[in-house]
Structures are given as C-alpha cells and as structure tokens.
Structure 1
Amino acid sequence: MSDLTLTKTRMIAGIWHGILTGATGDTAPPLTLSHKAEVLTSGLTVQPRDDGTWSVEVAVPVNRLADGVQTFVITDTATGDTLASFAFLAGEGLAEDIRAEVDLLRDELDMLKRAFRRHCVETAEEE
C-alpha cells in the first residue's frame, strides 16, 4: 500500500491540479497517468513545494476526449496504487452517468488484475 496521498485542489483551463503528501526525499515520486488501461507518457508533472509536499499537474490530453465517458487514473508507479482519478462525460450519454462509474470500475479492475499478476510472479519467485 502506498504512503502517498494525492488530493485534488482544482481543475482549471484543462489542467487538473493536486497536492501530493507522504513522499520523502528530494526526488519526485514516480506517478503514472493512464486512460483505458493505457499509460500516457506525457501531460503529468510533479514539482516540489516549499512545505515539503509536491504539486501535481495533469494536462488533460485533448486527443483522448470523445463521446462517452473518459476516465483518467493517476497511480503510484512503485506500488500500482490508485491515488486519484477524474472523468469526462461528453455526447448523448450524459443522462446515463452510471457509465462513468462503470468506466472507473473497469480501470480499477484492470489495475487490480495487474497487481494480482505481479503478486503471483513475486510469490512464485520466493518459493
């Protein structure tokens, strides 16, 4: 389980902002941004703050926005734990916001599957 806590502060001008606590050391903790279980290699920045916390910014990838629900997940790369997520709804399906929840559940299930597989590999190596 991750010792990191990521708290959303705001979203403005297409940039999601948050504060990361629980990180130690001078090196930015490795975070991953994913969409539909695909890791996105750009758009996420982590910068130190004067109070010992870290400022996290995610530029929403416009090329990923489309009709339906688009869920973005921020995870701790080291542990695979979900730290935060946000979703966009667009198009005709807005009245059915349960889709956002289902999409988030799918992303979390994909992360659980990866964590379980990693656990199986690690415990198999110990035997």
Structure 2
Amino acid sequence: MLEGSRIAAGRWEALWRGPEPAFKVLHLEREVPGLSCAALGENLWQLSLPIPPGLLSDGVQTFVLRSGEEQVGHFTLIAGQPLEADLRAELDLLRAELDLLKRAFRRHCVESGA
C-alpha cells in the first residue's frame, strides 16, 4: 500500500508498505529513470524519484507508479497558469487506465483465441 506521498526539493517521495516493490514510474507511457527503494523496516520501504526538469512544463503532468501492469499510485504536477479545476489530471489518469485496459483486453483476446 502506498502511503505518505510528497514532493520536496525536486524529488517525489513515498512510503510503500508491503513486500519489496518492483515498480516503475511512467510519464506519458515512458519510463522515468532514477526510482530508488530503501528498506526502512520489515515490509516498509522508502521510494524516491528525482523529477527530471525536462518533464516540467506548463499544464498538468501526471506520473503513474506501476507494478507490472497494475497501477499502484500516481502523482500530479501542475505548473504555469493556475487551473480552475484539476480535470486535466483526471483525464490523464483515465487515459492511462484506459491504455492499461486495452492492453489487458488485447492480451486476453490473443490468449483465448477470440
């Protein structure tokens, strides 16, 4: 379970409670390098990711944390002109989830011969 997510000094940090994680962080379906994982105790892990400056731009940027094909969390950055509503971030999440469902459905069709 992902807990206590925050952004400080250009780094995203969070706690993971559970077995040792094997995560990747995606931005626009591309993996963001640099995710580190440090043990804090039994089944407690500190996750840390430097946010590449090249990914920061005006608007909403959504970063998705995945374990295999399963989305286990996300974080969103908003820069530039303030937005009245955070609908763009929600739309990015919906797109990411739809892409995940499409891949799973296609895999199911191939495996079942449908």
Normalised-by-shorter TM-score class: 0.7 to 0.9
Look up the match of 2:21: 29
Structure 2: which 5+ runs fail to align? none
Look up the match of 2:107: 118
1:109 aligns with 2:98: yes
1:55 aligns with 2:39: no
C-alpha distance in 1 between matches for 2:112 and 2:16:
30
Shift of 1:75: 0.6
Aligned with 1:20 (options 16, 23, 40): 16
Look up the match of 1:67: 58
Look up the match of 1:11: 7
Report the more deviating stretch, 90-99 or 63-72.
Answer: 90-99
1:98 aligns with 2:90: no
When normalised by structure 2's length, the TM-score is 0.83
Structure 1 or 2: larger strand share?
2
When normalised by structure 1's length, the TM-score is 0.76
In percent, how many aligned pairs have the same letter?
A: 41
Note the aligned Cα RMSD (angstroms): 2.1
**Count of aligned pairs:** 114
